[in-house]
Structure 1
Amino acid sequence: MSYPYSGSPGRGLINSQVPEQYHQESNLPSSILDDFHNAAAETEFEVSANTRRNYATSFSIFQDYCQHHGMSALPADPRAVISFIGHQKDLYLESGVQLSKATLITRLAAIRFYHLQAGFRTPTDHPMLLRIMRGISRNQYRQQAHYDQQPIMYTELARLLAAVDSQQSGLLKVRDKALITLGFQGGFRRSELASLQTQHLTFLHDKLRVRLAFSKSNQQGGKEWKDLPYSEQFAAADYVRRWLEISQLSSGHLFRSISRCGKFTRPYERKMPGSSGRNSGFLNGDDVYRTVKKYCKIAGLGESWFGAHSLRSGCVTQLHENDKDTLYIMGRTGHTDPRSLRHYLKPK
C-alpha cells in the first residue's frame, strides 16, 4: 500500500513550505518506520469509500482534459482548473440538461483532495474560481435537471410490503420487510442501513433503539442513535426480530446476502482494511438501492419517481403529517440543521 507522503521532494503529508529534507521517508530512523506506516494507514479512513470513488472518477476526467491540452493536472495551474470548469459547465447530457452545480462542486472537491493529498497547494481557492462558482449558482439560464425522489409514505409502504410478499423465498421476504420498514421508520440513508450491525440494536420495552456508529453527519464516531417506537404504524421492530430469528444472526452486519435459491444466507466475510480479498456476504448501499427499486417496480409505483432515498424522505414527510415538530423529526433523521429538512419534506 502506498501513502501520499512518499514520492519526490516537496510532496507529503507535511505542508510544502517545510524544508524538503523533512519530506524524505529515507531520513527517518529505520526503528520508527513501522510506527510511521502504522499511523499513515489511518489516512484510508479520511474519506468514505464512496467519496473516494467519486473523487477518483472526477479527477480522472480532469486529468484527461489536462492531458488533451498539454497541461499539468497535478500540480495544476488555477487557470487550468478555471478552463476545465468552463468546459464542464457547458456540457449537455443525453437527457438534454447540463451538469448540475453539485456535480461541478464534486469535480472541484476532487481536484482539491488530490492536491492536498500530494502535498501541493490547492488551485481551487483562486478568487476568480470562487467568483465563477457563485455566478453559476445564480445563473437562471442554465438547464439543469431538478429531480427529487417522491416520498414513500404509509400508502406506498403498504404496497411495497405486498410486493415483497409476492416473492417465493421466505428468507428473502423476511429480510426485505425488515430492510424496508427499518429504512422508513428510522429515516436511514442507504449507506447507514447497509452498515448496521446486530450489536447496534437494542429492543427496549416500548421502542427499538438503533445505534449509529458512524453517519454522514457523524463522521467522527460520536454517540448517535435512533429511538423507533413500537406504537407507530408499520413499526420495524417485529420485522427486524423476525429476521434475526430466521437468519439466526448474533453478530456482524444485520442485512446479509441470500443465496440464489433463496434458502440460505451467503458465507459472511469482512476483510480488514489493507488486506487482500473482498468483503462478502452482506448488502452494500447499492444493494439497498436496487432492492427498493425492485419492489417499487413490482408495486407499480414507478421506478423513475421512487428509490431508496424515498424511504428517508417519506419518514420526514409522514412524521410531519403526523404533527410531529421539527426537533422530533431531526432527532429521528439525525439532521443538525432544520433548514436541511426542506430537501426531504414534501408538502401535504
Structure 2
Amino acid sequence: MAETGKKVSTIQRHCAAVSKAHALRGVDSPTDDKKFKVLMEGIARLKGVRQKQAPAFTLATFKCTVKSIDGKTLAGLRDRVILLLGFTGAFRRSELAALNVEDLAFSEEGLIVNLAKSKTNQLGAAEEKAIFYSPDFKLCPIRTLQSWVHRLDRTTGPVFVSFRKGERLTERRLTDKHLNLIVQRYFGPTYSAHSLRASFVTVAKLAGADDSEVMNQTKHKTSEMIRRYTRLDNIRQHNAAQKLGL
C-alpha cells in the first residue's frame, strides 16, 4: 500500500481492520509481529504522519460570508442554515447530511439536536447538541432553521435536500459531497464542510472556552483532536518570535 502512494493513516486503518479480524477468529495477527511494527515505523518516517487538516476561517469572515447570502431564495436560505448550523453545532458533514426534521427539538431556551449515530457513536446511544439563539437574525441558526423547516412543510424526513429546476423542493437528502460543494461555493476551493467544525473549535478556543466545553459540543472523546485543530493558531498567536522587535 505504501508503494501505491497510500497515506500512513490509511495504511494504519487497514492494519487495524486486519488485527480486528484476526482477534475475532482467536488467532494471532501479523500486525503484532515486531518485524511488522519496525516496517510500519519506517514507512511513517519515510512518508510522514502529519494529517491534512481542514482549514478554519475567522469569525469575521464567517459572519460576512453568511450575511452576504440571499436568504430570500430557497437555495440561499438552505445554504445559510447549513453554514450556521454546521458551525455552531460543530457537526461532522455526515451528521449534517443525516439530520431529520424529527431530530430537532425547538424551545424558548434554544434547540436540541438529537444525533442517531455519529463517527464516535456507532451504537446509536443518546447524544445531543445544544444550539443557541443569536440576537442578529441573519446569524441566528435557530430562527433561520425554523424558517427553512417551515418551507419544508413536513414533520419527518431529511432536513437538507436538493432542488428541482425552479427551486422546487425534493425529498432527496443532500450527501456529504454536496455539503462540501456548498461550503466551497462560499469560502473557496481550499475549504470543505469539515471546515465548519474545525472553525468552531478554533474560534471557541480563541474566545476562552476550555477543552471540556468544546468537547461537549464536538463529542470528541479525548482532547487530542482539540489540540490538533488549534495547533496552527497557537503557533501563530502565542509565539515569542512576535516579540523579537525586528
TM-score when normalising by structure 2: 0.81
- Per-residue deviation, 1:127: 3.6
Amino acid at match of 1:221: G
Say whether 1:289 aligns with 2:196. no
- Per-residue deviation, 1:162: 4.5
Identify the match of residue 338 of structure 1 among 223, 234, 242.
223
Deviations 1:239-293 (A, max 9, x none): 111101122131011111111321x112x3xxxxxxxxxxxx1111111112111
Partner of 1:108: 15
Say whether 1:251 aligns with 2:164. no
Deviations 1:73-112 (A, max 9, x none): xxxxxxxxxxxxxxx3244xxxxxx542112223434555
- Per-residue deviation, 1:175: 0.8
Question: Are 1:153 and 1:315, in contact at CA under 8 Å, matched by a contact in 2?
Answer: no
Partner of 1:307: 192
Aligned length: 231
Partner of 2:133: 230
- Per-residue deviation, 1:313: 0.6
Q: Structure 2 unaligned segments of length 5 or more: list them.
A: 238-246
Partner of 1:24: none
- Distance in 2 between the 1:316 and 1:283 partners? 24
Identify the match of residue 52 of structure 2 among 147, 152, 156.
147
- For residues 324 and 293 of structure 1, do their structure 2 counterparts lie closer, same or farther at Cα, with a shift above 3 Å needed? same
SS at match of 2:162: coil
Deviations 1:310-340 (A, max 9, x none): 1001001111122122111110111121122
- Per-residue deviation, 1:170: 1.1
Say whether 1:260 aligns with 2:165. yes
SS at match of 2:169: coil
Amino acid at match of 1:152: F
- Distance in 2 between the 1:114 and 1:90 partners? 24
Say whether 1:195 aligns with 2:102. no
Question: Are 2:134 and 2:141, in contact at CA under 8 Å, matched by a contact in 1?
Answer: no
Question: Are 2:56 and 2:195, in contact at CA under 8 Å, matched by a contact in 1?
Answer: yes
Say whether 1:175 aligns with 2:60. no
Question: Are 2:8 and 2:48, in contact at CA under 8 Å, matched by a contact in 1?
Answer: no
- For residues 119 and 325 of structure 1, do their structure 2 counterparts lie closer, same or farther at Cα, with a shift above 3 Å needed? closer
Partner of 1:70: none
- For residues 295 and 120 of structure 1, do their structure 2 counterparts lie closer, same or farther at Cα, with a shift above 3 Å needed? farther
* Cα-Cα RMSD: 2.8
Q: Structure 1 unaligned segments of length 5 or more: list them.
A: 1-87, 92-97, 269-280, 298-302
- Per-residue deviation, 1:132: 1.9
Amino acid at match of 2:97: A
SS at match of 2:147: helix
Partner of 1:134: 41
Question: Are 1:228 and 1:235, in contact at CA under 8 Å, matched by a contact in 2?
Answer: no
Say whether 1:89 aligns with 2:11. no
Say whether 1:322 aligns with 2:207. yes
Identify the match of residue 112 of structure 2 among 201, 209, 215.
209
Q: Percent identity?
A: 27
Higher strand share: 2
TM-score when normalising by structure 1: 0.59
SS at match of 1:336: coil
- Distance in 2 between the 1:241 and 1:227 partners? 15
- Distance in 1 between the 2:117 and 2:222 partners? 18
Amino acid at match of 1:290: L
- Distance in 2 between the 1:144 and 1:316 partners? 22
- Distance in 2 between the 1:116 and 1:175 partners? 46
- Per-residue deviation, 1:178: 0.7
